[in-house]
Amino acid sequence: MSDCNHAQWQPPHDYRPLEHGAERQTWVVAILTGLTMLVEIVAGYWFNSMALLADGWHMASHMVAIGLAALAYLLARRYAADRRFAFGTWKIEVLAGFASALLLVIVALAMIGESLLRFWSPAVIGFDEALMVAVLGLMVNLVSAWLLRDQHDHGHSHGHNHDHGHDGHEHPHAAGGRDLNRHAAFIHVLTDALTSVAAIVALLGGKFFGWSWLDPAMGIVGAVVILVWARGLLRDTAKALLDREMDDPLVRRVREKLEGVPDTEIADLHLWRVGRAQYGCILSVVTHQAYTADHYKAALQSFPQLVHVTVEVNRCDESAHRERGL
């Protein structure tokens, strides 16, 4: 309903220093985790500590998951300018987070199974040596958690505009949100720290009080906590992958703003995430006014989260509009 002005296509996502920093830190954590994993697994077998062994194998799975997170950053950056990705490569990172959550579930179930076996077949534990390795693992985990802590990243910026008549597209800069890929890596490191603490408690209890049952018991407790964290991570990443965003409060606010435009009926409205805290929006409105797509886009300018807005305006005469109850 207006003249078309096609802007030159630009990559939807502009990787800034924050993304490069997260990628570098993730690779560092992956290397640290791998080295510590080798020490803990060898020591766990050598000193017969189930808690230490569980921590080592748990850390092994996390090394894979954190490496996957780093790889996701690399791929998202590499394909940022690839036009086949309609809304950029952000969901590569989300997919890595989802895979990490599934891996957490597998590791937790394996830990429970191995711990139950140790209840029936206890082994002699070298407490002093195992304690030294467990403390080393905890220190590495704490350093890794600090490197991957949430720094309220600003996400990918969208700095281009498209106006296509009634299919108007608008891409202002938007505020950032949680980096689900980095958060998944952080959760993995945090669960590593938890299992390290559990291993230390179990080894101290066995050393000073003879509570050999505490070693496998702590393996089960740690696994249950990991399952709880994995559930939350699965929920967050699956929601983004499946575009389940219509229960977001932003949808209600957008609807209220559009309904505030005189003589306007919302025929269709869809929101989905295209970035960490950035949304695409497709809407269809019915009016008998001489409104254009730009008029409705202007009404939504107060929502910086909307970085890609497509508007279809359907104009009807007075009688048809009256039948719709307007």
Q: Are residues 278 and 152 in the same domain?
A: no
Q: Are residues 155 and 115 in the same domain?
A: yes
Q: Are residues 102 and 9 in the same domain?
A: yes
DSSP for 93-115, written as a single string: HHHHHHHHHHHHHHHHHHHHHHH
Write out residues in the chain with pLDDT < 50, as ranges.
Answer: 1-18, 152-176, 319-326
Q: 171 phi and psi, to 5 degrees?
A: -130, 70
Q: Are residues 201 and 52 in the same domain?
A: yes
Q: Are residues 65 and 86 in the same domain?
A: yes
Q: Are residues 258 and 304 in the same domain?
A: yes
DSSP for 218-241, written as a single string: HHHHHHHHHHHHHHHHHHHHHHHH
Q: Are residues 227 and 256 in the same domain?
A: no
Burial class (CB in 10 A: 0-12, 13-18, 19+), 239: middle
Q: Are residues 207 and 265 in the same domain?
A: no
Q: Are residues 129 and 96 in the same domain?
A: yes
Q: Are residues 209 and 264 in the same domain?
A: no
Domain contains 206? yes
- Say how many domains are in the chain: 2
What stretches of the chain show up as alpha helix (H) in DSSP?
17-47, 50-78, 90-120, 127-147, 180-209, 214-241, 249-259, 293-299, 318-323
Q: Dihedral (C-alpha) 209, 212, 215, 220: value to the nearest 10 degrees?
A: -110
Q: Are residues 96 and 38 in the same domain?
A: yes
Task: Pick the closest to residue 179 from 270, 280, 76 (CA basis).
Answer: 76
Domain contains 28? yes
Per the structure, the complete domain to which residue 309 belongs is given by 249-323
Residue pLDDT, tens place only, 106-162:
888 887 887 888 778 766 667 777 787 778 878 887 888 887 776 544 333 333 333
- The residue type found at 63 is M
pTM over 0.75: no
Q: Dihedral (C-alpha) 141, 143, 146, 147: value to the nearest 10 degrees?
A: -100
Interatomic CA distance for residues 172 and 17, integer angstroms: 19
Q: Which residues contact 242 (CB under 8 A, 6 or more apart)?
A: none
User: Which pLDDT belongs to residue 173?
Assistant: 36
CATH number of 144's domain: 1.20.1510.10
Q: Which of 220, 241, 262 is the last residue of a domain?
A: 241
Across the strands, what pairs with 312? 284
Q: Which of 188, 215, 241 is the last residue of a domain?
A: 241
Domain contains 172? no
